Amino acid sequence: MLVRILGSGAGGGFPQWNCNCSNCAGYRQGTIRAHARTQSSIAISPDGSKWMLGNASPDIRSQLAEFTAVHPRGAVRDCGIEAVVLIDSQLDHVTGLLSLRESHKPLKVYCTERTHEDLVSGFPLFSILEHYCRIDWQPVPVDETWMALDGIGGLSLVAIPLTSKPPPYSPHRQNTRPGDNIALLVKDDESGRTLFFAPGLGLMEQHLEAWMSDADCLLVDGTFWTDDEMQRQGAGQKRATEMGHLALSGPDGLIEQISRFSKPRKVLIHINNTNPILDEDSPQRSLLADKGIEVSFDGMEIEI
């Protein structure tokens, strides 16, 4: 199975258009060693020719321009993307679908019933897109069972419900239910190898342990270093946990949590522009290196 990191940043990307935090300013002024990042999205393929997107970021146009494997080859209108799977209905994970409205075939979108509800109500993206191209919604159950992806033969998935919230615009923001946010386990049917994908992981829940420890690769939440990072940087009031992200550092942080799993390759994605790990010369970045945890970057390719 091949995984291409289309975008490795969190909402806003890096640098963020209106941000003057030490990272964004340092990047613009050339005073830190760091790479710009678009908003997070991945592409997964069993064979390198047909691909499934994991989330559709608002930066999709530039991401696909760089991604030659999906460029048109045959017919006048052609693309290697066969399907899209959404982990929730956050704006930075779904608005890329608007830029796929020229699609020459119905857009096959896998998501839970809860995510679908948001996308036909609070943010009626699917209803709007119906006027441009058909949406072929494929409901994803959240009962932690294997589901064959008919839209892209050779891959199966398990959706694992996460305790988190739907986005601020959602009519059921205060009425959280399983399926608002999910982690994905994607399996290559031929090799049996698996990817655990969770760009928003707010809590290390018991039911995740077995899936994570047995996965071949973890591609997980690298949003924040500390829970109060936004406040520390003067960039906002919200804590990481309130936004559905478990901070990387600290005794119960994500680094410690995933370090317990010896089997999987460990890679971080969805890195917020305030996170000190973006500075490649930072002590935080070298701590990750010591722990054998990689930081994904735009254009990175992972073979699983």
Interface with ligand MLT by CB under 6 A: which residues? 10-12, 90-92, 200, 243-244
Is residue 14 within 8 Å of residue 235, measured between CB atoms? no
The Cα–Cα gap between 289 and 67 comes to 27
Pick the closer one to ligand MLT by CB: 46 or 161: 161
Identify what 287 binds: Mn ion, ligand MLT, Zn ion, none; CB under 5 to 8 Å per kind: none
Beta bridge partners of 111: 139
Q: Pairing between strand 107-111 and 81-85?
A: parallel
**Site map (CB under 5 A) of Zn ion, residues 254-273, x = contact:** -------------------x
Q: Which two tokens stand for residue 228?
A: 């109060």
Identify what 24 binds: ligand MLT, Mn ion, Zn ion, none; CB under 5 to 8 Å per kind: Zn ion
Pick the closer one to ligand MLT by CB: 11 or 54: 11
Identify what 243 binds: Zn ion, Mn ion, ligand MLT, none; CB under 5 to 8 Å per kind: ligand MLT
DSSP-H helix ranges across the chain: 22-29, 60-66, 91-94, 113-119, 125-129, 209-214, 229-232, 254-259, 283-291
The stretch among 19-27, 56-64, 86-94, 167-175 that binds Mn ion (CB under 5 A) is 86-94
161 binds Mn ion (CB under 5 A): no
Identify what 91 binds: ligand MLT, Mn ion, Zn ion, none; CB under 5 to 8 Å per kind: ligand MLT
64 binds Zn ion (CB under 5 A): no
The Cα–Cα gap between 58 and 222 comes to 19
The stretch among 18-26, 135-143, 214-222, 240-248 that binds Zn ion (CB under 5 A) is 18-26
181 binds Zn ion (CB under 5 A): no
Give the residue at shortest CB distance from Mn ion. Answer: 92
Q: Which two tokens stand for residue 233?
A: 């940087």
Q: C-alpha distances in angstroms, 215 versus 84, 106, 188, 199, 209?
A: 21, 32, 12, 16, 10
Position among 3, 5, 9, 11 found at the interface with Mn ion (CB under 5 A): 11
Please state the closest distance from residue 200 (CB atom) to Mn ion, in A: 6
Residue 147 in 3-state DSSP? strand
Q: Which two tokens stand for residue 120?
A: 């036909």
Q: Which two tokens stand for residue 123?
A: 């943010």
Residues at the site binding Zn ion, with contacts judged by CB under 5 A: 19, 21, 24, 273
